[in-house]
Amino acid sequence: MVLIQVFLVFAIIAALVAVEAPSALSSIISLGAVGFGLSIAFLWLGAPDIAITQVVVEIVTLVILIRATIARGVTEIRGNESKTLLIGSLILFGLGSAFFANYLSDFPEFGKSAMETFSNPASQFYLKFGLDKAGGPNIVNDILLDFRAFDTLGEATVLFAAILGAITLLNRKVFVDSGEEKQ
């Protein structure tokens, strides 16, 4: 429990460094530290699938971000925030956290998952019948590919659309006849 909190605090510090560091390289590496710190926390939280996925995705994200900035010769990414917005966002943050803390005190305690607190939740069903009815010992994958396979189809579609969109937008030729780039 304390360990998890330590990793979360580590992630917060890394996130602050990532947001504030002026150098592109240290900023991107700190962003990687957020993801890796969280993935270790996920291992402690009994989620090895997520930890693996988080690590591989973090690597790809870092490669893409480095490709976009440092490989392009951009070494400094300063935030340049405005003072008024900063004060405004601090006030907003104060109000927001007060709001959160007020309602979060009614939230089920940490370490008591919803599946224990409520009668007949879906998760109990998955754990109980996943092996027999879907056929895999890894219940998370049973949910992904059998019980909620339609979600996974949507997820694959999101990736497909994003990649198709990125490729379309990076393509320079817009019109058939001109062949010139639109300025």
Give φ, ψ of 94 to 5 degrees: -60, -50
Query: Is 166 near another protein (CB under 8 A)?
Result: yes
Which residue of 26, 41, 75, 180 would you call a contact of another protein, by CB under 8 A? Answer: 41
| Total number of residues that touch another protein (CB under 8 A) | 133
Query: Is 146 near another protein (CB under 8 A)?
Result: yes
| Strand, coil or helix: 179 | coil
CA 84/CA 86 separation, integer angstroms: 5
Near another protein in 76-135, by CB under 8 A = 77-82, 85-86, 89, 93, 96-97, 99-101, 103-118, 120-128, 130-132, 134-135
Near another protein in 44-73, by CB under 8 A = 45-54, 56-57, 59-61, 63-65, 67-69, 71-72
Report the candidate in 73, 71, 64 with the shortest Cα–Cα distance to residue 32. Answer: 64
Which residue's structure tokens are 């991107």? Answer: 28
Query: Is 33 near another protein (CB under 8 A)?
Result: no
Query: Is 29 near another protein (CB under 8 A)?
Result: no
CA 150/CA 158 separation, integer angstroms: 12
